[in-house]
Structure 1
Amino acid sequence: MARLLSSAMWSAFGLFLLVLAFRAGAEPLAFGPFRLDSLALFLGAAVTLVSAVVHHFALRHMQGDAAYESFFRRLSGLTALVLLLLAADSVLLFAGLWVAMGWLLADAIGHVRSWPQAQAAAALARLWFLRGAAALVVGLLLLAAATGSLSIAGIVAAAGAANPLLVGLGCAALGLAAAIQCGLFPFQRWLLSSMTAPTPVSAFMHAGLVNAGGILVARFAPAFEAAPLVLLLVFAAGAASALFGQVAALVQSDVKRGLAASTTAQMGFMLMQCGLGFHAAAMTHLVLHGLYKASLFLGAGSGLAAARRPGSTGTPGAAAIGPALFAALLGGAGFALASGKLGADTGALLVLFAALAAAQASLATSAAAPLVRWAAAPLLLGLGGVLYGALIRGAEALLAGTPGLVAPQPLTALHWLAAGAFLAAWIAVQAGLHRRSAALYVRVLGLSQPAAAAITDRRETAHA
């Protein structure tokens, strides 16, 4: 059964790619309460790819587990629920699938029934998923009341002309549901406690299921754009989580927990892009992060060996500043030109983040020869900016028929404040200020700890 389900996932991935190749940009296919559009096909291909890889990995990783077959049925069931959720057009069906997905995911987190810590983590996740589902249901009902439609397509088409108060409240509730599902600050505790899950579950969860929050916002993008204040709040929540998650990842000693903190940061960045009005860019980030994070979780055991190797923990010297600034210039410019984010709108923030990423990557070559630091690395990072910008431009073209996925917003004081906070945080980390404050270390470490009931110090009880 396990091998059959694994083969089915690979076949589903091939089918999604084939349909996407012929149906990209075409009119959505509607059948009953489902509506298959370019966004559903694009994300369906990503979900089935990650699921197929995780299934294949788990064939050996889970050997000897007493619940081997039920594990694969649960994993395949989660995949099927996500695929149905992507295509659901009825708000009632969407809400039902959302609840079922959360319930089955919590069950997967508690896979080892005899491990009290796993059951505690599952109970915490289930509690937060139910709270998120309640927020989702409230949001959907408000939007349905405002637009007079029980279909997602009808809601997004009528949101712009509907009662702005009801639309705003509905989108705020959906934003709360998205934040909980993504494990954003201050809802990160369930995500950090879920490391009791078997490694394949962690890989699929962090690569796909937590992304459902971003998918939710993107699916209702026109409604969020009709409530600009809520969209600004989504941006602020994403920015706060991106900053917190990145700092939290620096203080972790547990490999999987460090990856979980990184997921909080990356989910924050994804929702930031939604808040900036670039939902197609957020979906590109979702797919790329999903593939990357799945590989990191599946290789977490190798990460233990790498963590034992001696390495430099010092701060970059003054000689690294010039090449980093040069790399930032080339990386940001390459991204701006390739993505077309050249206007005086929220696209400028995407360019800033691309420049910061290039500068950070440049610091990894600070010990290399001058030719590498000043020429080879900046040029490669500039090409990386071009590639990332081209991927976003390609995703925007691929998803062009989906309403509201590219809607740049005007820059506000909050956007500039967030940009300043990211720059200041990056400079502070490079200067090593985060290592000099015991109070900051203790505070961040405390906020990034799992629930006490989900922690074990007995190695013989661990089954993940």
Structure 2
Amino acid sequence: MKAQQVNANKKSTGLFSLANLVLWALFAANLLFIIISYSNLPEWKFGGIIYINSFSFLIWTVVLFFAALITSYSKNYLVGFKFRRSFILNCLGFTLSVISLVMANHILLFLGCWVFMGVFMANLIGVNKDWPEAKAAASYAQKFFLLGSFCLGVGLLILSWYTKQYTVVKISEQVEDLPLFAKIGAALALILAAIIQSAIFPFQRWLMSVMTSPTPASALMHAGFVNGGGILLAFFSSLLFASNTLTILFVVGGITAVTAQFTKLLQVNVKQKLACSTIAQMGFMIMQCGLGFFNAAVAHLILHGFYKAYLFLSAGEEIKKSEPSSRLKIKIKAAEAFAVLIFGSLGAILFSLLTGKGKSADSGIILTLVVAITVGQVAYNIFKEKSLTTYQKVFYPTLMFVLGIVLYAGLYNAVTYLMHPLPLTDNPVDISWVHIVFGIVFLIGFFLMKLGAYQKYPWLYLRLINDSQPYHKTIFNSKNN
């Protein structure tokens, strides 16, 4: 028995090494090709089935990097794990599904890739087949993934039926000519598919219920799988404009971003905190789509992928470092508030100068405002750090917002260029009363959260706790183990 186990471990180690080598080689080759051919990236079409363009190369580079990084980490992390071989095969299957999705042109291939993404991710969630809670989590998540695939299939069927076309490119070119009910119906179906996969409210519970997955699988899920919603919306941006459904994305994304940030403050488990953080970031991404900035959403999901992969892969180290502490008192002084306002404003101005957003009376103003809030939040986190001197509290925010905005603006402009084959990916919309009212509500909710005012309302605490509870069969029960 031991000999068989040793032999299985050797085979899985060899498979890991080969897969890791191939993934890193493909990533390096793809990145080098983008750098060399950046100004003249080719477009290849194969019989209406496949369409490879600069956006395909962009997503391939990101996905291959994360897959290579996670397999490198898993090679040692999963040593001795009984289902190690199953993990790497499903990881490769998921990676291939995403790679195929972004070059799929025929709607059947596109839908098939979307379905397989969910299948492989569910397998990764429940890879430990000896653990009842893991099996329950995989089954629970798979129901959501299948629901999302069904919605996508309905949307594609409506579009294909009324356009008499079977490719994503041709359908996107003819959405303006569709009957209004067909445009709205297809758009709502695609929106549902996107927000289910991205764990947007009210479908966030599946992400809170998959904590049984191994850390590398969680990293791949949070850095890659949930981002699929933004990619889907980018592919069908012309439909969302034609159906006037962008406002739905803006509102739903905003509600998710605020509530998930609230919920994150109530969690005591590291993975649960990271899950809430992911849901909040997906909310911001969907908001950006709702503003007409699908390029900003893709830039956001790329940065979020890097950030969340790092957090998950270093979660164990953070647990070792953590120690019980007294209850955090949230209080901001007048001087700190003024400094946050200054740094946030300067960050917004610099972002506007580098990208050209926020200079016109359109949704670019809201995008710039989100940047200002982000810069202000970073500055506040630095100001409240007691270990820093006064000089450091002035110098570090300056360095962070200048360097951060420059790098973000550079990525934003690069993504905008690489997404040019897709229609309407950088098309700000006119500001409406919905944007203004909800923007005010969003800001009020954000500051209530940051200032800790929610602690005075027990009913709100209970509601947030209940909304963030995982499916009961996925909670560890010692009686079953």
Fold shared, TM-score > 0.5 on shorter chain = yes
Task: Give the TM-score taking structure 2 as reference length.
Answer: 0.92
Q: Secondary structure at the match of 1:113?
A: coil
**Stretch of structure 1 that moved more, 85-94 or 421-430:** 421-430
Counterpart residue number, 2:214: 198
Counterpart residue number, 1:298: 313
Q: Distance in 2 between matches of 1:460 and 1:22?
A: 56
Q: Distance in 2 between matches of 1:440 and 1:86?
A: 41
Q: Secondary structure at the match of 1:112?
A: coil
Find the partner of 1:384 among 394, 400, 404. 404
Q: Distance in 2 between matches of 1:260 and 1:158?
A: 38
Find the partner of 1:272 among 287, 291, 294. 287
1:10 aligns with 2:30: no
Question: How far has the Cα of 1:383 moved from its partner?
Answer: 4.0
**Stretch of structure 1 that moved more, 391-400 or 55-64:** 391-400
AA partner of residue 423 (structure 2): P
**Stretch of structure 1 that moved more, 162-171 or 209-218:** 162-171
AA partner of residue 356 (structure 1): I
Q: Secondary structure at the match of 2:68?
A: helix
Check whether the contact 1:178–1:212 (CA below 8 A) recurs between aligned residues.
yes
Check whether the contact 2:234–2:422 (CA below 8 A) recurs between aligned residues.
no
After superposition, the C-alpha distances for 1:109-134 in whole angstroms (9 at most, x for unaligned) are 11111111111111111111111111
Counterpart residue number, 2:110: 94
Q: Secondary structure at the match of 1:197?
A: coil
Question: Which 5+ residue runs of structure 2 have no aligned equivalent?
Answer: 1-14
Question: How far has the Cα of 1:20 moved from its partner?
Answer: 2.4
Counterpart residue number, 2:224: 208
Check whether the contact 1:340–1:393 (CA below 8 A) recurs between aligned residues.
no
Q: Distance in 1 between matches of 2:418 and 2:363?
A: 22
Counterpart residue number, 2:137: 121
Counterpart residue number, 2:425: 405
Question: How far has the Cα of 1:21 moved from its partner?
Answer: 3.0
Identity of matched residues, %: 35
Counterpart residue number, 1:417: 437
1:395 aligns with 2:412: no
Find the partner of 1:324 among 330, 340, 343. 340
Question: How far has the Cα of 1:91 moved from its partner?
Answer: 0.4
1:260 aligns with 2:260: no
**Stretch of structure 1 that moved more, 24-33 or 278-287:** 24-33
Counterpart residue number, 1:234: 249
Check whether the contact 1:146–1:167 (CA below 8 A) recurs between aligned residues.
no
Question: How far has the Cα of 1:422 moved from its partner?
Answer: 2.4
Aligned length: 460
Counterpart residue number, 1:435: 455
AA partner of residue 363 (structure 2): T
Question: Which 5+ residue runs of structure 1 have no aligned equivalent?
Answer: none
AA partner of residue 64 (structure 1): G
Question: How far has the Cα of 1:59 moved from its partner?
Answer: 0.2
Q: Distance in 1 between matches of 2:249 and 2:154?
A: 17
Task: Give the TM-score taking structure 1 as reference length.
Answer: 0.95
Matches within 5 A, 1:129-278: 129-228=145-244, 230-278=245-293
Check whether the contact 1:26–1:401 (CA below 8 A) recurs between aligned residues.
no
AA partner of residue 345 (structure 1): D
Q: Distance in 2 between matches of 1:306 and 1:313?
A: 18
AA partner of residue 311 (structure 2): L
Question: How far has the Cα of 1:375 moved from its partner?
Answer: 5.5
Matches within 5 A, 1:48-67: 48-67=64-83
After superposition, the C-alpha distances for 1:221-269 in whole angstroms (9 at most, x for unaligned) are 11211112x1111121111111111111111111011101111111111
Question: How far has the Cα of 1:84 moved from its partner?
Answer: 0.5
Check whether the contact 1:335–1:387 (CA below 8 A) recurs between aligned residues.
no
Structure 1: 4+ residue segments shifted above 6 A: none
Q: Distance in 2 between matches of 1:310 and 1:236?
A: 37
Counterpart residue number, 2:3: none
Counterpart residue number, 2:46: 31
Check whether the contact 1:333–1:382 (CA below 8 A) recurs between aligned residues.
no
Q: Distance in 1 between matches of 2:441 and 2:395?
A: 29
Matches within 5 A, 1:341-360: 341=357, 342-360=359-377
Q: Distance in 1 between matches of 2:192 and 2:119?
A: 18
Question: How far has the Cα of 1:147 moved from its partner?
Answer: 2.0
Question: How far has the Cα of 1:22 moved from its partner?
Answer: 4.5
Q: Distance in 1 between matches of 2:98 and 2:373?
A: 33
Q: Judging changes above 3 Å, is the alpha-carbon distance between structure 1 residues 63 and 327 closer, same or farther for their aligned structure 2 residues? A: same
Q: Secondary structure at the match of 2:430?
A: coil
Matches within 5 A, 1:103-114: 103-114=119-130
1:449 aligns with 2:463: no
Check whether the contact 1:273–1:279 (CA below 8 A) recurs between aligned residues.
yes
**Stretch of structure 1 that moved more, 390-399 or 174-183:** 390-399
Q: Distance in 2 between matches of 1:126 and 1:401?
A: 32
Q: Judging changes above 3 Å, is the alpha-carbon distance between structure 1 residues 22 and 34 closer, same or farther for their aligned structure 2 residues? A: farther
Question: How far has the Cα of 1:5 moved from its partner?
Answer: 0.7
Question: How far has the Cα of 1:169 moved from its partner?
Answer: 1.1
After superposition, the C-alpha distances for 1:332-351 in whole angstroms (9 at most, x for unaligned) are 11111112102211011111
Q: Distance in 2 between matches of 1:48 and 1:155?
A: 29
After superposition, the C-alpha distances for 1:294-337 in whole angstroms (9 at most, x for unaligned) are 11111111121343264771223323111111111111111111
After superposition, the C-alpha distances for 1:357-401 in whole angstroms (9 at most, x for unaligned) are 111111123244444445652453244233322321222123223
AA partner of residue 247 (structure 1): F
Check whether the contact 1:331–1:383 (CA below 8 A) recurs between aligned residues.
no
